[in-house]
Amino acid sequence: MLKTQRPPLDVVVVGAGVVGAACAYYAARAGLTVAVVDRGPVAGGTTGAGEGNLLVSDKEPGPELDLALLSTRLWRELAERFGAAMEYEPKGGVVVSATAAGQDALRAFAAGQAAVGVTAEEVPAERLRDLEPHLAPGLAGGFHYPQDAQVQPALAAAHLLREARRMGAELITGETVTAVLRGPDGAVRGVRTDRRRLDAPAVVNAAGTWGGELARLAGAHLPVMPRRGFVLVTEPLPRIVRHKVYAADYVADVASGSAGLQTSAVVEGTPGGPVLIGASRERVGFDRTLSQEALRRLAAQAAALFPVLADVTVMRTYRGFRPYLPDHLPAIGEDPRVPGLHHACGHEGAGIGLAPATGLLISEQLTGKRPELDLAPFRADRFPADTGTDA
């Protein structure tokens, strides 16, 4: 028999990844009665298969950078409470260039970012090794981004949810949302899972890469597609990589809409010792097959940046599927087509970084406050209905 939730909920959040966790945390903090439902465990989706880079360095001025800057502030606030538990490290990023032309391009990019509040300091070639002693010789220079940081994504999701529960939120794992309930006026009335019905006037779609399917359950089109990425994990090493370090080409790869394989290594140390080398990008649906080509390229690029890595052992690799929307921006906010349906998905390769801002903006909208950022660029109805949902 179907069970009905009592007392009445204000909002059901679908998805217990880092974005759903942040939505639940900020909604509970705003005094709302929240239930979070996930068909798997906490962080069992892409959150448990990504890295934890919180980057402003790779974002050009625009709505995504606005979100990232808001998130940077919020991550710092969260870190005051749970910093060590989430392995938050405000370590900064270093972007390097192999050529003078590349360094000119980095300089122009950084100048645009500086105008909107990003701190970027040019590092001449001869000073690069002060920041990263093991960097390859012969680089043309780089930029240091002190606002870039790092977190352990699964721990971050778990702690945000734990705090949300402390404030009264309910966490339901192992239940799949099979329907979004709507009233005669078309407005959301809650969800049905494979075990129960949860009534609420608002539903948050934090279903990540599966956000398109959840939207479809509510009768709305949202073309979220998987963009696969592999990460290499080395044996534990002494601290040889101090910042998040990547080459200038990474920014172009992130911004590309190509379905083909792209790799540009981002190298970072972790508190436990292993160095993470991520990540490739390609749109091949949910194909989990190991791509030796992607792994080979990542390893070669990492060793080109840090020659010392050429001799270390890679212990394992893992893959995940980024929630990709065709214009690389997430869907955030109430769907004008379905009153009460709030999207918080499609953050592609930046969902860890952008989670707190997303959660805060959703909670502001749910409580009738004016959101801190203009949500117009993130509207879910910006995609024509014929935008595909294939790989």
Ligand X SMILES: Cc1cc2nc3c(=O)[nH]c(=O)nc-3n(C[C@H](O)[C@H](O)[C@H](O)COP(=O)(O)OP(=O)(O)OC[C@H]3O[C@@H](n4cnc5c(N)ncnc54)[C@H](O)[C@@H]3O)c2cc1C
Site for ligand X, rule CB under 6 A: 14-20, 37-40, 44-47, 49-53, 176-177, 206-210, 214, 229, 231, 278-279, 320-323, 345, 347-353
Decide: 370 and 253 in contact? Cβ < 8 Å: no
**Which residue is associated with the tokens 């966790």?**
21
Token pair belonging to 303: 């060793």
Cα 248 from Cα 97, distance rounded (Å): 6
Given the structure tokens 């390769």, which residue do they identify? 349
Least CB distance to ligand X at residue 126 (A): 30
CB of 339 to ligand X, least distance (A): 20
Residue closer to ligand X by CB (options 145, 210) is: 210
CB of 212 to ligand X, least distance (A): 10
Nearer to ligand X, 18 or 245 (CB): 18
CB 182, min distance to ligand X, A: 16
Nearer to ligand X, 140 or 277 (CB): 277
3-state SS, residue 220:
coil
In whole angstroms, what is the distance from residue 283 CA to residue 135 CA? 31
Short-list 220, 253, 164, CA closest to 345: 220
Q: Is 13 exposed, middle or buried (0-12, 13-18, 19+ CB in 10 A)?
A: buried
List the 3-4 sheet strands across, edge first.
Answer: 3-4, 196-199, 188-193, 177-182
Residue where the block lists tokens 């990547």: 246
CB closer to ligand X, 93 vs 141: 93
3-class DSSP state for residue 115? coil
* Closer Cβ to ligand X, 102 or 278, answer by number: 278
Q: How far is the CB of 283 from ligand X (least distance, A)?
A: 12
Which residue lies nearer to ligand X by CB, 103 or 319? 319
Residue type, 183: G
Least distance between ligand X and beta carbon 99 (Å): 26
Kindly give, in sequence order, each residue whose CB lies less than 8 Å from that of residue 275, ignoring residues fewer than 6 positions away.
233, 234, 237, 240, 241, 267, 268, 269, 302, 309, 312
Nearer to ligand X, 51 or 132 (CB): 51
With tokens 């998987």, the residue in question is: 226
In the bound complex, what is the minimum distance in angstroms from residue 280's beta carbon to ligand X?
8
